[in-house]
């Protein structure tokens, strides 16, 4: 049964058992967290009512951010990853309209997006904007034979942009989830929502990206994704209660300079494809690693030692993915942490995405990893998170060392640079319905 709210009812229900149960499932049952979320939802209710004074009621939607747990730069070569939804999210209060127009206002932005759904082609003037993502998601659903229609929404997000937690993918999935719920009886599976959102980001927003981010924001929980068949990614949910591990994932923004890094990212793909091409293949997942190592000397001479090293990282990290998934599923967190550390060392020494070769002075990621290792002293694990060269690192920190770790990282990179996250098992949805 669909549940709608207005400003009066949400104020009366926000502290009810129903809201508390849903908040606990989404964000954990810490009293401080529950209080923060109550205030956040009440604030958004007021903002929605002020923005759309003629609308009597609204529905509530949420899409989570995500973390990459295993597999660094493996997805674009048809490899596998482990990723997970987290308790930071983008939420929307939204109401159906009959105008065939989508209006979205986001907290903190002075303007808002108005998308006329009679025009579904990409608009050059919208490239790189949230409007492009909204139009692209609607177009992607229409191309697959699903229904779309108008709605009015106000959103807020606590997924910081540039945090490595996929704020843009969460926004795409949120829009897709609203359209799925309002116009398709929530019948569209999460993988399709992810594929449609990736289509919007690639073709309308103008950013080439893999499918991992969107899957992590769509499914909920921890999952492996196998990209060997690029047209049919295989997503396998893992039944894992990470809260039993005694560790918490921490993502730290090292505040590195992201400018002029396009060439660095492209070089990783180019190097790996050079090695694949040596064997007559497009991507490394189609190359037998046994044959690769047998011919390593020839590969190195033909493609360069740097490309050979990056291929070595791919084969090793791709092999670690099922091992990490198995360790998580069996509750062997010691083995899981060992594999995280191995992946981190591989990214540093073989993949070489810790600092940009074009700007060797940019060592913030290296500093964050070195300081993490020194503080944890084998009691946790850390690795680069995402694309690398600048930006975020990931650590798995024992709960009794958490406060000290966050303090150490924020001394280095500034207050608010750390995001302590928990795994969220609820997919992008209308959680209060």
What CATH number corresponds to the domain at position 123?
3.30.230.10
- Say what percent of the chain tops pLDDT 90: 89
**What's 378's domain CATH number?**
3.30.70.890
Q: Mean pLDDT over all residues of the chain? A: 95
Has residue 360 been placed in a domain? yes
Has residue 432 been placed in a domain? no
Per-residue pLDDT band for 273 (boundaries 50, 70, 90) equals: very high
pTM: 0.93
Residue 283 CA to its chain's centroid (Å):
23
Has residue 361 been placed in a domain? yes
Q: Answer yes or no: are the C-beta atoms of 80 and 71 closer than 8 Å.
A: yes
- Same domain assignment for residues 196 and 307: no
Domains contained in the chain, number: 2
- Same domain assignment for residues 49 and 192: yes
- Same domain assignment for residues 101 and 191: yes
Work out the average pLDDT over 136-148: 98
Task: Please list, residue by residue across 68-97, b when 16 or more beta carbons sit within 10 angstroms of its beta carbon and e when fewer do.
Answer: bbbbbbbbbbbbbbbbbbbbbbbbbbbbbb
At 167-180, the pLDDT tens digits run 899 999 999 999 99
- Same domain assignment for residues 30 and 165: yes
Work out the average pLDDT over 126-133: 95
Work out the average pLDDT over 250-269: 88
Work out the average pLDDT over 388-392: 92
Per-residue pLDDT band for 208 (boundaries 50, 70, 90) equals: confident
Q: Which domain holds residue 13?
A: 7-63+85-220
Cα-based distances in Å from 239 to 216, 222, 242, 316, 325: 15, 7, 9, 25, 10
Instruction: Of 172, 162, 157, 234, give the one whose Cα is nearest residue 203.
Output: 172
CA dihedral 37, 42, 48, 54 (to 10 degrees): 150
Has residue 131 been placed in a domain? yes
- Say what percent of the chain tops pLDDT 70: 99
- Within 10 angstroms of residue 101's Cβ, the number of other Cβ atoms is 15
Has residue 429 been placed in a domain? no
Per-residue pLDDT band for 2 (boundaries 50, 70, 90) equals: confident
Q: How far apart are CA 362 and CA 318, in angstroms?
A: 28
How high is the pLDDT of residue 209?
76
How high is the pLDDT of residue 1?
60
At 216-250, the pLDDT tens digits run 999 999 999 999 987 889 999 999 988 889 999 99
Inform me whether the pLDDT recorded for 163 exceeds 70. no
**Domain boundary, last residue among 166, 185, 220:** 220
Phi/psi for 61 (5° steps) reads -130, 150
Task: Write the Ramachandran bin of 207: left for phi over 0, alpha for psi from -120 to 50, otherwise beta.
Answer: beta
């Amino acid at each position: 049964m669909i549940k709608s709210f207005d400003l009066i009812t949400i104020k009366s229900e926000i502290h009810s058992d129903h809201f508390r149960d849903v908040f606990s499932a989404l964000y954990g049952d810490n009293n401080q967290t529950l209080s923060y979320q109550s205030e956040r939802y009440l604030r958004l209710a007021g903002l929605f009512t002020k923005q759309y004074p003629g609308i009597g009621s609204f529905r509530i939607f949420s899409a989570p951010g995500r973390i990459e747990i295993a597999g660094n730069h493996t997805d674009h070569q048809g490899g596998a990853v482990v990723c997970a939804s987290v308790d930071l999210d983008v939420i929307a209060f939204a109401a159906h309209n009959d105008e065939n127009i989508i209006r979205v206002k986001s907290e903190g932005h002075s303007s808002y997006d108005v998308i006329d759904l009679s025009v579904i082609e990409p608009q050059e003037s919208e490239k790189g904007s949230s409007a492009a993502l909204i139009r692209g998601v609607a177009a992607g659903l229409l191309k697959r034979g699903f229904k779309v229609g108008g709605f009015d929404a106000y959103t807020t997000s606590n997924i910081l942009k540039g945090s490595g937690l996929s704020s843009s993918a969460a926004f795409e999935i949120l829009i897709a989830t609203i359209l799925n719920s309002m116009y398709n009886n929530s019948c569209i599976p999460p993988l399709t929502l992810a594929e449609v959102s990736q289509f919007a980001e690639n073709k309308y927003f103008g950013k080439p990206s893999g499918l991992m981010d969107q899957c992590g924001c769509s499914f909920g929980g921890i999952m492996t994704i196998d990209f060997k068949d690029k047209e049919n990614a295989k997503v396998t949910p893992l039944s894992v209660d990470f809260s039993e591990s005694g560790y918490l994932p921490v993502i730290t923004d090292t505040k590195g300079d992201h400018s002029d890094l396009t060439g660095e990212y492209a070089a990783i793909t180019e190097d790996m494809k050079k090695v694949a091409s040596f064997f007559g293949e497009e991507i490394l997942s189609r190359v037998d690693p046994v044959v690769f190592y047998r011919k390593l000397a020839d590969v190195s001479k033909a493609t360069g030692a740097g490309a050979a090293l990056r291929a070595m990282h791919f084969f090793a990290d791709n092999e670690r993915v099922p091992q990490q998934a198995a360790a998580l599923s069996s509750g062997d967190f010691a083995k899981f942490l060992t594999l995280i550390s191995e992946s981190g060392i591989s990214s540093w020494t073989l993949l070489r995405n810790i600092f940009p070769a074009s700007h060797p002075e940019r060592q913030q990621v290296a500093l964050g990893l070195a300081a993490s290792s020194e503080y944890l002293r084998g009691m946790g694990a850390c690795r680069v998170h995402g694309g690398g060269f600048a930006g975020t690192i990931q650590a798995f920190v024992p709960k009794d060392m958490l406060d000290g770790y966050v303090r150490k990282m924020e001394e280095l990179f500034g207050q608010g640079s750390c995001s302590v996250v928990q795994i969220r098992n609820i997919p992008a949805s209308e959680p209060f319905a």
